[in-house]
Amino acid sequence: MTERLRRLELVYLPNPVCFLTCCTAGRQPLLASPQIHDAFVEFCHAALSRNIFVGCYVLMPDHLHLFVKFSDTASNPSSWAKSLKNTLSKTLRQQGHPSPHWQKGFFDHVLRASESYSQKWLYMAENPVRAGLVRNKTEWPWQGEIHPLRLEETCSGGL
C-alpha cells in the first residue's frame, strides 16, 4: 500500500488563502440542496469569530470547492475542514442520509498569486456547466461569496 502524502503542518505565508475541495464518500450526490447550502453558509459565517474568512464557493452534488483565508497562523485547515464536514453531516443525517458522507481528507492548495486565484475561481464557477447541470455558471444556485477576500481580483464578477 502506498503511503499517503502528508500535509504541511504550518503554512509559511502570512494570512494565506487556500483553495479547498472536499468530496462525498463514493461521490454520492448529497450536497446540492437548500438545507446543505444553508448549513454551509451558516458555518462559514460562524467561522468569522475565529478569524477564518470564506470567500467564493461552489457546492456541487458530490463535492465542494471554496476559498478560505486563515488570518491566524494558529488556524489549522485540517481541523477546520473536519469541522465543516461534521456540520454538514449533521444536516445530512437529519435528512435521512446514512453515514459515511465524506471521503477521507481533502485537497488543499495555498494560493500564492492573484493569477492562481483567478484560475481556480474560473475552474470552480464553470464546474456546474462542465457537469451539464446548467448552461451558464450564473444559473447554479449553490454558489456564492461569504466574504470578499483581499486579493488583486475577486470572483464576485463571475457570480
Q: Would the pLDDT of 77 be above 90?
A: no
Residue 122 has a pLDDT of 87
Helix (H) or strand (E) holding 59: strand 52-59
108-152 pLDDT per residue, tens: 988 876 667 778 888 899 999 999 999 999 999 999 999 988 654
pTM, two decimal places: 0.84
pLDDT in tens, 5-29: 665 555 455 677 889 999 999 999 9
Beta bridge partners of 104: none
Pairing of strands 63-70, 52-59: antiparallel
Q: What is the pLDDT of residue 121?
A: 86
Domains observed in the chain: 17-158 (3.30.70.1290)
